[in-house]
A and B are shown apart, each in its own frame.
Chain A
């Protein structure tokens, strides 16, 4: 079977089992092993052990359990909520202000983690419930978490950026700086979108005073909220500080966050032994859900790669006979399509070395191209039907949120990302100005 046909067959199988409502990770792994058995033979099963060792022994993915645990501890102790309550005491009169503080917190989390899973699931653990409890529109709340959590790979540190720089011999520092202004642009657009859409549909984001049965806080309660909120923000600053000052790597800093959350809970007498267990169990379930997807998807993409999907993409990319900017646009479209079936790391691993030399030969700046690739990946992992960000978001969402809700909730935010992608494509200076200014 040719690779084109095989890719088609795999895609049809995925769509079929997704429609049947099969667990995503098991379906992806199972499809790969059945099609693999039919085309390759029993030998394909040997892909399992090496994939297990590559996914379960990845220190980078360790950020997922550590950060989720930190998030769960903050939530279960009530300290996380205090952070948002405190923000509401300050800017609560602005419609949508809670979503805006969530974006701010997500940006800070984005500056701590370097992978999408940790970004979305941590942001979701801390910030989803406060929005839903205050009567925020479900879709707005979910979309904000998705867009905010996705900032994890756009704001440094970012593992995909490090991988891009390494496989294309470019400066990591330049990549990090190059993504800063686009990230800032993204945050501004997010905040603007929240404010505008809440103006247009006030029901999406009720103000606290509009809710029934809300009793005004006493001065003492206000003080406690402000104090707890302040310390919760301080904890985030401390975790960030531990990365910047070289105490811990971005992965390890999650553990510092866990210790900090426990200390805060004890100091503020919010600690219960039962919290340890319930936060741990909740984290274990979320980690399991994420890792079974990552593992199944890795088995799937490893099979697809062994069958030679990369040469199909390479042949296609090399065969493009178009004006330069059209080639760049085609590359973006190819990556968006790859996002249907492949995860963020594999897209970088596969496309960075294939596409970047062509882009450079056409006279484009590699850092600019790299930042476009990162934004593109951000979009690819959010586009239905297959997108890791979508799966992570569903994992963290309440049980009554279906995948249909998720798809609908992310649409406006995907469009915002597309706007940023297009702006960066049209005005390369947005990417290149800062690295050129700082690094010459």
Chain B
């Protein structure tokens, strides 16, 4: 089910919310928790029930695989525990790999060795990348003794809690379960509801009004246009840059707002990333929970910065390559990861020179690098990526300011791009709003306008981009 759908806003959410808090009044916590887990699985299965067995298998497997780390009869030897952990992670990776990378691997084998392996008609279970990473983190934390979960219902609620199930934020067991266990969270809290409404509808506005509007030109430029002149190519890339941000951060805002209504604080996932002054800064602000996962469960286990500068640079590159391939089964994603890895290495080496760059120039370079790299992230083929980059470089003609026929653009497109810049520069981000929200007439007026405008523009049924990752 999509957050930006009528059935979610007017049916699923009110029913789930009311049911949860009514059942929380009973003395048996398991009833309200079961309600939330079942509602979340219903939410998950709404799109296509065929995905349900995959997530249920994943839940059972990881829960029972974590037991030897936390029970009294736990595996005692260090090497035994490590082998058990690696086995668990391997099964998770194989599950993810089968659905996400199987055809990609066959394609590569066929291309390189001239084989003729038959591709399988595999649908990617929605959200599998997110709940797999979340559970890998759980296994690793259980291995280290940081978490201990002996209740399958609690574990199911941690994984399936619907606001974060499909596309994150990627949460840790240790930051979620104490909140569910807190007796103070059993009651409806008006402060969380008002704040939750505001953040949810702000996210809906970002998705429905901003991201989906930018999507029209970005999609035309990447998927439909045969060639792009300079104006069209820049408009295409900038529209996608804004589309992706408003789409994913909009989704995250909606998730944070929804969780708040249930008295749960999800971690922030974005912090004005397009204001970053260097690439390291960008990754501290963009998809922050993925960066945290990659740092804690990939970069540091690889050795992090503990084995000298050369190994550090290698570990950085490997982490970004893994981050790239996580986003999708394609060499363009790997290349996107490589570009970010390379930029991070260059940034680190630049840091050794001690030369300070002035802030506007640093922002300009960082933003344009990110914008250019998104071209590889978005393009479905090298040809599409090169088409856009050639256009940006002016190799397919410069065009004129008002000439954007290939992407169906008009002067309105420039106004939207300008609006995109104004929003990222001058509008406070949701993290600030969450920390400083005070109900008042101005907030109320803004909420009513964005809620109604978003609802009236929800005729376009569009998925969130990160659902596909």
The finding on whether chains A and B are genuine partners in a shared complex, rather than unrelated, reads: no
Chain B residues near A (Cβ < 8 Å): none
Binding site for B on A (CB under 8 A): none
